[in-house]
Chains A and B, each alone.
Chain A
Amino acid sequence: MRDFIEQLGAKAVSTFNNVSGFCVFCLKCLREFLQGSFFNRAAFDVLVMQIFFTAYQLLNFFVVLSAVFGSIFIGIVFQTVKSFGLVQYLGNIVMGVVVLEFSPLITVVLLALRSSSAVNSEIAVMKVNREIDALESFGIDPVIYLFLPRIISFIISVTVLSSLFAIIVLFSGFIFSSIIFEMSAGIFSEMITKSISVYDIIIFYMKTIVFGFFISVIPLYNGWKTQYRTTDIPVSVLRGMMGVFMSIVFVEVVLLVARLFLNSL
């Protein structure tokens, strides 16, 4: 019994230390962001390069994926809407499900798989190789030089790519609506504009910002917390990616509830 309580206590202390360490890390990043530290030219170069790696390099693949995946999904949705006779709700379904929920979710999952894992392992390797210590010994703050540019680049990338996905999906929606429902462009766009509120747009961009923040800050923190052992690198990436997955689910649920609440006002 005593062993059990000791184990429970140790687990609680470890979890508390982990969570408080993560919160302190986030606050430090936020403080440097508010102070505009990313305008330091060395950090700004990292920001530009990171946007290049995270968003620009992915662009061709992303556009093709959005067109294919978006078209398939919207085709299925439109067929279902037609067979259940829900044409009057088409705008709400397209905006509410496909654009506002599906676009940021697919974007963030793709970026998490591609870039979060890369950032996590990059920072973990730098930690194990003592490159982060080397930066500190020269008076270069890793939060300003390494972490902040990556966080900002992820937020920008998720926001831009989600918007692009939404535009492509809407364009696919227009094509499918004209094929399946023989709907004109004017009617389709009127239906879409009627079914969207300001709250929806605010929640959409809030979601992309929060997603971008979490899928960068969690792998960065886990990479930074890696012990000085190469065997710790896969453990760090594993923890980071699990954290990213949990945060995506958490943010999705919280913001879905928030959107439903705001729209009911």
Chain B
Amino acid sequence: MSETELKERVSAMRGERAGFVSPDVPLLSNLSVYDNISLVPRYLTDEKDDSIRAEIVRLLDLLEISGSIEKKTFQLDSETIFKVKLLRALMLKDAPTVIDRPFVMLNTAADISPVVKMLKKISPDGKKVIFLDFEWNRSKY
């Protein structure tokens, strides 16, 4: 896919309810890691705060970034930012997760296996995950 086609497709998908993990959908810079992830369920659902916190702490543990729970975005490296974006997207439980240009966010990854590994750890079975990327990255999948 060319860059223009890719951006058009992402724009079209933004009209639908989906959890985006994208270089164009940043974390909120004035919120901590926990607040960024919990914002979606706290705003959109009636789930209790204690249960949201327990779930987020469990997921952060699985991705080995629980030490960053109170950190702000500027204190995080690119891999941690990707993981936080992924967890935020997964908080939209009834919607698919769209991972847009993962290698732009994970520029040291040689292939998609680290992302797949993360998804296997944290994502419930049957969760739909859509990858969008450039044609030239096909071999990395």
Which residues of A are interface residues toward B (Cβ below 8 A)? 40-43, 45, 122, 125-126, 129-131, 133-135, 137-140, 145
Report how far A129 CA is from B25 CA in the complex, Å. 9
Q: Which residue of A lies closest to B25 (CB)?
A: A134
- A131 vs B88: C-alpha distance in the bound complex, in angstroms? 14
From B24, B29, B40, B49, A138 is in contact (CB under 8 Å) with B40
> Using Cβ atoms and an 8 Å threshold, which residues of chain A touch B42?
41-42, 45
Given contacts A134-B20, A138-B44, could you give 14 more A-B pairs where the C-beta distance is less than 8 Å?
A41-B42, A42-B42, A43-B43, A125-B29, A126-B29, A131-B27, A131-B28, A133-B25, A134-B26, A134-B28, A138-B20, A138-B39, A138-B92, A140-B44
14 chain-A/chain-B pairs, Cβ below 8 angstroms: A41-B49, A42-B39, A126-B28, A129-B26, A131-B26, A133-B24, A134-B27, A137-B20, A138-B19, A138-B40, A138-B88, A138-B92, A140-B40, A140-B43
User: Mostly helix, strand, loop or mixed at chain B's interface?
Assistant: mixed
Q: Chain A interface secondary structure, helix, strand, loop or mixed?
A: helix
Taking a contact as CB atoms under 8 Å apart, the answer to whether A129 and B44 are in contact is no
Instruction: Point out the residue from A126, A129, A137 that lies within 8 Å of B14, measured CB to CB.
Output: A137
Given the known inter-chain contacts A122-B30, A137-B14, A139-B17, please indicate yes or no for A40 contacting B25, CB distance below 8 A: no
Q: How far is the CA of A133 from the CA of B43 in the complex (A)?
A: 16
Residues of B99-139 contacting chain A, CB below 8 A = none
Q: Is the CB of B43 within 8 A of A42?
A: yes
Q: Distance (Å) between the CB of A257 and the closest chain B CB?
A: 41
User: Within 8 Å CB of B49, what residues of A?
Assistant: 41
The interface residues of chain B lying within 8 Å CB-to-CB of A122 are 30
Interface size on B, residues (CB 8 A): 20
**Known: A137-B20, A139-B44. Contact between A130 and B29, CB under 8 A?**
no
Chain B residues near A129: list those with CB within 8 A: 26, 29
Q: A139-B17, A139-B44 are in contact. Are A131 and B39 (CB under 8 A)?
A: no
Residues of B near A145 (CB, < 8 A) are: 43
Partner of B24, one of A42, A125, A130: A130
Q: Closest approach, in angstroms, between the C-beta of A132 and any C-beta of chain B? A: 9
Interface-central residue, A45, A126, A137, by most chain B CB under 10 Å? A137
Shortest Cβ gap from B49 to chain A (Å): 8
In angstroms, Cα B26 to Cα A10, docked, is 36
B residues 1-57 near A (Cβ < 8 Å) are 14, 17-20, 24-30, 39-40, 42-44, 49
Q: How far is the CA of A45 from the CA of B38 in the complex (A)?
A: 12
Q: Complex Cα distance A140/B15, Å?
A: 13
Closest 5 CB pairs of A and B: A42-B43, A42-B42, A134-B25, A140-B43, A131-B28
Beta-carbon contact of B39 and A140 below 8 Å: yes
Q: Is the CB of B25 within 8 A of A130?
A: yes
Residues of A within 8 A of B14 (CB): 137
Do A130 and B17 have beta carbons less than 8 Å apart? no
Among the interface residues A42, A122, A125, A145, which one has the most CB atoms of the partner chain B within 10 A?
A: A42
Cα A140 to Cα B43 with chains together (Å)? 7
B39: chain A residues within 8 A (beta carbon): 42, 138, 140
Q: Which residue of A lies closest to B30 (CB)?
A: A122
- Write the nearest CB–CB distance from B15 to chain A, whole angstroms: 10
Chain B residues near A125: list those with CB within 8 A: 29
Query: Which residue in A43, A45, A131, A139 is a CB contact (below 8 Å) of B29?
Result: A131
A131 contact set on B, CB distance < 8 A: 26-29
Q: Using Cβ atoms and an 8 Å threshold, which residues of chain B touch A43?
A: 43
Q: How far, in angstroms, from A130 to B14 measured CA to CA in the complex?
A: 14
Whole-angstrom distance between the Cβ of A243 and the nearest chain B Cβ: 24
Residues of chain B within 8 A (CB-CB) of A135 are 28
Chain A residues near B19 (CB, 8 Å)? 138
